[in-house]
Amino acid sequence: MRVLIVEDEAKVASFIARGYGEEGIESLVASEGLEGARLAESQSFDLVVLDLGLPGLDGFSFLERIRAAGRGVPVLILTARDSLPDKVRGLEAGADDYLPKPFAFEELLARSRALVRRAQGSPSPVLKVGDLQLDQRTRRVRRGETEIVLSNREYALLEYLMSRARCVLSRTMIAEQVWGIVFDTGTNTIDVYINYLRGKIDAGHELKLIRTVRGRGYCLTDEPEVKRLVGGDEPEVKKLVGGDEPVDET
């Protein structure tokens, strides 16, 4: 999950970002409305946490601007303005939820995850690929009957791979969604973490779920054999890798 926090109170923004980080959630902070709107329009986020009393461009104007631009990202208003007229105006402007300050981080976290699940069209917080399961509520990961312990970054990477199972994900896509950075072609950080995951997810299993698609990136799939992905009928090959690149498990 990747969250944009649009909040001008530095302590509040830092508190939220730190809490998200401890849960393996990537976040980016904008301290004023215009900056936040530009980020929301130019980058991909799973959720926006929005204050209303912002300098430059207030929260209501922020909402109207990004909705007019066609951005359907879920927005959770987090503000000290808790009057009924403000709540109604915020929701009518395009917000998806409204949480007044002061707030408990546990409630913010639960509401954040619920909004993202709803937006993804998945009522279940459990991701499954073959015998691999990831519960987004408890952050528990299992392969078969074996529970797997992951670091926050490993969990975020696996969650992204599983949420887009059977899709080829480039290193650039992974860097932006999991690390929240512009991809640096000179680093092998992503490959290192992929290998960490392979050691925990695939080690000891005949069926390897995390595949390398040569020249393209990585794919998490439960297809039983690599040869079926590259040597079967053409529609199946195109579905996984685009039909013109071999799949390599190394």
> 75-79 and 47-50 as β-strands: parallel, antiparallel, unpaired?
parallel
For the segment 13-66, what is each residue's pLDDT rounded down to a tens digit?
999 999 998 888 889 999 999 999 999 988 889 999 999 999 989 999 999 999
Under 8 Å between Cβ of 49 and 112: yes
Under 8 Å between Cβ of 197 and 218: no
Q: Which residues lie closer than 8 Å to 244 by C-beta, 6 or more apart?
A: none
pTM across the whole model: 0.53
Under 8 Å between Cβ of 4 and 46: no
The 3-state secondary structure of 16-49, one letter per residue? HHHHHHHCCCEEEEECCHHHHHHHHHHCCCCEEE
For the segment 184-227, what is each residue's pLDDT rounded down to a tens digit?
656 788 999 999 999 999 999 989 999 998 888 899 998 765 33
* Domains contained in the chain, CATH given: 2-119 (3.40.50.2300), 126-248 (1.10.10.10)
For the segment 155-169, what is each residue's pLDDT rounded down to a tens digit?
999 999 998 888 888
